[in-house]
Every structure is written in C-alpha cells, then in structure tokens.
C-alpha cells in the first residue's frame, strides 16, 4: 500500500470518528410552534379539543410554543376561550434540581421528564422526528394506559 493511500485512509478515519463524536453530542432542539394532530390514550383515539394530560410534566394543549436554550426548555400556550392565560411550564436541562420534584434528562433526540407526586410517578418522553413532536406520558403505580400526543410543527408566521 502506498504511503499516500495510507495517509488518505488515516485522514478519512480520523474525520469519520470526529464526525461521529460531534453527532453523538448534538442535542435535539424542540423550539417552535407545535399544533396537535393526534391524541391517543393507549390504542384509543381521543378528541383533540381538550388534550391536557393531568399531571404531565409538560402540557402543550392544542397548540404551544416551545423555547429552548442550553439550560432550559419553556412551553407557552395561548389563552383559553374563557380568556385565562395558562402559566408557562419550564424545565432545566442543565442538571439543576427543580422545586416541583421533577428531573429532566436530555440525551440526543430524547427528553425524559420524571415527576414524583405523593404515591405516583409520572414519566414523559418527548421526541422530535423531523416536523413532528411526540409526547408520551405514563403514570406508574396506575393501571392507566400511556397518553400519546403527536404535534406537527407550524410554519413560521402562523
């Protein structure tokens, strides 16, 4: 094998390894405005008119805007028809503990939120797949099926 070929192969291997390391360290950006497309409870399709999952760490409702920084993720919803403005929900992504007994872990494309109440633990997994955002909420110590909400990203300006 020629020296030039050996050097080229080595350079390609180093470049490939560096690309793999950078890709593994990238975290998904959940920022954007998201509109509910599907709401399921187990295998049952639910009405999308009132999709708030009680006890879920994050609730997008029918539509929400997510703002994300390196340290936090904040969900904002529009005022209800009665004019009530829902409070924004924020979670720390940098390992800080939160007063509401919630933990958040962002690993690559998956955001996992866990919140402990009296005798119940609620776990929510949030995944972005292109222009879709999927939130799956499960309640431990409970016979309830998981709730799955699928959102589609709204184009800018809508």
pLDDT digits (tens, 9 = 90+) for 101-158: 788 888 888 999 988 877 888 899 999 999 999 999 998 877 778 989 899 998 865 4
Sort strands 44-45 and 63-68 into parallel, antiparallel or unpaired: unpaired
Q: How much is the pTM?
A: 0.74
| Cβ contacts of 46-53, under 8 Å, gap ≥ 24 | 51/149, 53/137, 53/147, 53/149
Average pLDDT over residues 73-88: 77
Q: How far apart are CA 75 and CA 2, in angstroms?
A: 58
Contact 30, 39 (CB under 8 A): no
> Per-residue pLDDT tens for 15-64?
344 433 444 457 799 999 999 999 898 889 888 777 666 667 888 888 89
The phi and psi torsions of 14 (rounded to 5 degrees) equal -65, -45
Q: Is 28 exposed, middle or buried (0-12, 13-18, 19+ CB in 10 A)?
A: middle
């Amino acid at each position: 094998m020629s020296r030039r070929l050996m050097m080229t192969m080595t350079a390609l291997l180093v470049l490939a390894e560096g690309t793999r390391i950078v890709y593994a360290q990238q975290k998904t950006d959940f920022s954007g405005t998201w509109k509910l497309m599907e709401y399921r409870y187990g295998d049952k399709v639910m009405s999308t008119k009132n999709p708030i999952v009680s006890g879920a760490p994050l609730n997008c409702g029918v539509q929400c805007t997510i703002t994300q920084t390196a340290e936090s993720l904040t969900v904002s919803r529009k005022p209800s028809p009665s004019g009530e403005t829902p409070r924004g929900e924020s979670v720390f992504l940098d390992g800080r503990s939160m007063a509401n007994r919630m933990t958040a872990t962002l690993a690559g494309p998956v955001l996992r939120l866990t919140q402990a109440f009296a005798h119940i633990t609620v776990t929510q997994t949030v995944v972005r797949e292109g222009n879709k955002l999927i939130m799956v909420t499960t309640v431990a110590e409970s016979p309830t099926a998981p709730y799955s909400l699928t959102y589609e990203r709204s184009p800018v300006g809508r």
